[in-house]
Each structure stands twice: as C-alpha cells, then as structure tokens.
Amino acid sequence: MRVGNTSLRLVSDGEYRLDGAGLFGLMPKTEWQQLAEPDEQNRIRIQLHCLLIETAAQTILVDTGYGDKLSAQERDLMCLQGDGRLLGSLAASGVAPEEIDVVINTHLHGDHCGGNTRLNERGELVPTFPNALYYVQRLELAEAMFPNERTRGTYHRENIEPVERSGQLRVLWGDTRLVDEVRVMITPGHTAAHQSVVVESGGETAVFLADTAHWPLHMERLEVLTAYDAQPLVTLETKRRLARWAIEHKALLIFNHHPDGMAGYLYPTDRPDRFRLEPVAL
Ligand SMILES: [Zn+2]
C-alpha cells in the first residue's frame, strides 16, 4: 500500500485461535458463526498483523505480535503458528531488525508487544530492535507495570523492562506527532490509553486501528464490542468519533486481527450506528 510518499505493509507475526465469544462479546453465536466458522473448541482464526511504515527518512514498526518468548505449551494452547513469524516476515520484506528506527506499541497487551524483546544467545532479555526508539503511552505503561486481577494475564514486564533498561523507551503523553507523516491518536476503550497510528502524506490518510476494531465488523456496527475491552462503552464512543473522522478524511482503515488482512474505506448507511466498509486489495 502507498499513502502519499510512504509505503505501508502488513507484516505477520503468525496466526492463533481465540474464543469466538471473546471476539464478538454479546453477539449470539448463532449470528457470529455465520461470519467466522469456529473450530471444535469454539475458537476462530486471528491474525497477528503488525504494520511496517517506510517514510523517506524512517522505518517504523507498529506493534510486535506475541514474539518468541512463549513456551511450546503456551503456543500449542492457542495454536500459535506462522512461518518465521514477525522477524521472518520483516526479512521477507527486506528489513533487518537493526534497520527499524521506531517501534510504536498501540498498547501493551501480550499480542501487541511480545516481540519487543527476545532472549539472546546468553539467555538474557534484550530489545529485539537494537537501534529503535520504542514509543508507548504513559498511562498504558502504568497499567502494564501494575496490572489488576483482570489484566495481569496479558501484561508482562519482560516485554517492556529490557527496553527501559537499554534507554530505548520513550513515554508519550497523549496525541503526538512522531515524524512528519506519522502521528499517534488516543483511541481509548480497549485500554484506557490505547492509541491508533495515523499516516498522512501527499493529501492521503490511513489509520492502523489496532484493537479499537479487531475486524471490519466492529467498525461497521458500533454495538459490536469484544469481551476484552477494559471500557466497552468508551470503545463504542471512540468508534463513533473515529467513523465520522474516517469518512470525513477519506481515511484508509487498516485492521490487525482479521485472518485475511483487511483494509478499506468506510461509508455511511441510512442508519447512524451502521457503516459499510469497502475493502481494498492488499
Ligand atoms: Zn490484540
């Protein structure tokens, strides 16, 4: 994908399986199983897409997937699989870990920042991208470092602390322009300080939504919310605001968790709470 003078590419950290009721929240199974066929354990396929943004000056990676620190048992449990995972996908795009200048974590759930760090040959935890600055929101960092009973299963210090120790962590206070063509915008709800990444170049706009809308369906129907959102009704209002903004700015919406990799433009319908996504070929 090209947006003005920037190049955008989805890079996969693999695929896993997630409980259907988690992804579709209050939507009855009779309805969601027509959209996604569950396996015998009621799970559906979920992609771990990260976004590679190449501007004239910088190579930027948005989110880092689950990474390689999970045990074989943990990987088996969620059917996590993929050829070479994130580093293999980056290599296939001709990008070495040393070439990443900026890592942006939309939030710090395990499936979005697990690849921030890795175990080196001596078994030490080190940043996976040795020359990158890693940008995270201050409030998200606080939530991750001091999780509560509901969030502690997905927040892991080993994804962050090595980055802080190496001096590569940069903490953001809200909406921030990081480079000329790329800025982050707080899109709260999935987590209190979840951020989406906006690319603006040559009069064109794209936004990597991350978990504000896992699948296009979550954007097309405002009331469809995952069971994972920390503040579901805040997500609802974020999506309402985002939908208006996306239509007004003709922004390309990029989705991270759909198994086929999805992006498209949003259009209004005759109902204020429904939208229609016109997909574009990736
Ligand atoms: Zn996620």
Distance from the CA of 58 to the center of ligand 1, in angstroms?
Answer: 25
Long-range contacts from 246-252, C-beta under 8 angstroms, 24+ separation: 246/207, 247/275, 249/205, 250/205, 251/198, 251/205, 251/206, 251/207, 252/1, 252/3, 252/204, 252/205, 252/206, 252/207, 252/280
Tens-level pLDDT at each residue, the chain (282 residues): 999 999 999 999 999 999 999 999 999 999 999 999 999 999 999 999 999 999 999 999 999 999 999 999 999 999 999 877 999 999 999 999 999 999 999 999 999 999 999 999 999 999 999 999 999 999 999 999 999 999 999 999 999 999 999 999 999 999 999 999 999 999 999 999 999 999 999 999 999 999 999 999 999 999 999 999 999 999 999 999 999 999 999 999 999 999 999 999 999 999 999 999 999 988
Q: Count CB atoms within 10 A of the CB of residue 248.
A: 9
Distance from the CA of 105 to the center of ligand 1, in angstroms?
Answer: 11
Rounded alpha-carbon distances, angstroms, from residue 254 to 31, 136, 270, 280, 281: 24, 20, 24, 10, 12
Distance from the CA of 142 to the center of ligand 1, in angstroms?
Answer: 18
Distance from the CA of 122 to the center of ligand 1, in angstroms?
Answer: 30
